[in-house]
Amino acid sequence: MNQYRTLLPIGVAVLALLVYSCTFVVKQYEVAIKLRLGEIVSDQYGPGLHFKLPLINSIEIFDRRIQTLDSRPERFLTIEKKDVIVDSYAKWRISNAAQFFRSTGGSSARTSRLLSERINTSLRDEFGKRTIQEVVSDDRLELMQILTKEVNANTEDLGVEIVDVRVKKIDLPPEVSESVYQRMRAERERVARDLRAKGSEAAERIRADADRQRTVITADAYRQSEEIRGEGDARAAEVYASAYSQDPEFYAFYRSLGSYRQAFGNGGDVMVLEPDSEFFRFFRQQQAPVEAIGR
C-alpha cells in the first residue's frame, strides 16, 4: 500500500510530462508548422490544442500579426544623379509559414535583413526614375502604392506579405539643398513674373474696354442731347413762326424792342446812325406810340 502511494505521484508526473510532450497550443494570433526530423510535414494548424509525437516531431510557432520594419535612413540617387536621404518603414506579416521557415529559418534578424535589402532595391529603382522636385513635391501616395506593389512581388519567396511601405522623411544633403532651393526659387520667380504679366495684360484689356465703353456712352449721350436740342430748336422755331404769322408787325416790334434793350442797356455807348435808318423805324411813328415805348 505504501508502495502505491509512492508510485502514484511519479505516475501522475510522468503522465503530465507525456501529455505536455505530445501536445502544443496555437494561439489566435499565431501560426505553427510541424517538423519531423527537421522536415516540414504540416502547416495547417488553426488556433487550439494539437498533438505531436515526442522526440520525432518539433513545432515552430510564429507571430502572424503585422510587424513593423523600421529601416535606417539610406541614400538614393535621383534621375538627375542627385543624392536624397530617405527614411522609411514597412508593415509586413507572415502569409505562408512553411515558405517563411524555409527562406529565413524563422530568424527575425535574417527576415529584417532580407526585407530591408529588397525594400531598398525598390526604393532605389523608384527614386532613380524621378527628379528631386518630383520626389519632394509630387503626391507621395502614388509612390507608396507603387512601392508596396513592387516589394510584395519581390518578397513572395520569403512567405511574407508587405502590407504597406511608407516614406517618413526625405532629406537632401547639404550640398544638394542649396541648389534645389535656388532652382525652386527661380521657378517661383518665373511663375510670379508670368502671373504679373498676365495681370498687366488683363488690366490693359479691362482699361481699354472701359475707355471704349466710356467713348460709346459719351457719344451716345451727345447724340441724344443734340437730338433733343434739335427738337427743341425746331419746336421753338415752329412757335416763333406761328407767332410771327399771326401778327408780323407785332413780332417785328418785339424784335426791335430787344435790339433797343441790348444796344442801349449799358447807358455809356455812343452810336452814330442816320436818322432815317431802319433801326429807328419805330421812332418815326406817331408821337403817342413813341412815348408809350419810352415809358
Domain range for residue 184? 175-222
Cα 32 to Cα 49: distance, rounded to the nearest angstrom: 12
The three cell numbers of residue 115 are 526585407
Q: Can you tell me the mean pLDDT for 177-192?
A: 84
Specify which of 41-45, 205-209, 255-259, 269-273 reaches the highest per-range mean pLDDT: 205-209
Identify the weakest region by mean pLDDT among 80-84, 199-203, 272-276. 272-276
The three cell numbers of residue 274 are 442816320
The neighbouring-strand residues paired with 92 are 67, 162
Looking at the structure, do residues 134 and 182 belong to the same domain, yes or no? no
Is 189 a member of any domain? yes
**Contact by Cβ (8 Å): 89, 166:** yes
Looking at the structure, do residues 137 and 210 belong to the same domain, yes or no? no
Is 270 a member of any domain? no
Looking at the structure, do residues 97 and 77 belong to the same domain, yes or no? yes
How many other CB atoms are there within 10 angstroms of residue 276's CB atom?
Answer: 9
- Per residue in 106-153, pLDDT (tens digit) is 888 899 999 999 999 999 998 888 887 777 766 677 888 888 898 988
The pLDDT mean for the chain works out to: 81
CATH number at residue 144: 3.30.479.30
Q: Residue 293 is which amino acid? A: I
Cα 292 to Cα 295: distance, rounded to the nearest angstrom: 5
Looking at the structure, do residues 72 and 167 belong to the same domain, yes or no? yes
Is 236 a member of any domain? no
The three cell numbers of residue 65 are 500579426
pLDDT for 56: 85
**Contact by Cβ (8 Å): 34, 26:** no
Question: Does this model's pTM top 0.85?
Answer: no
The three cell numbers of residue 247 are 401778327
Among residues 222, 240, 256, the one where a domain terminates is: 222
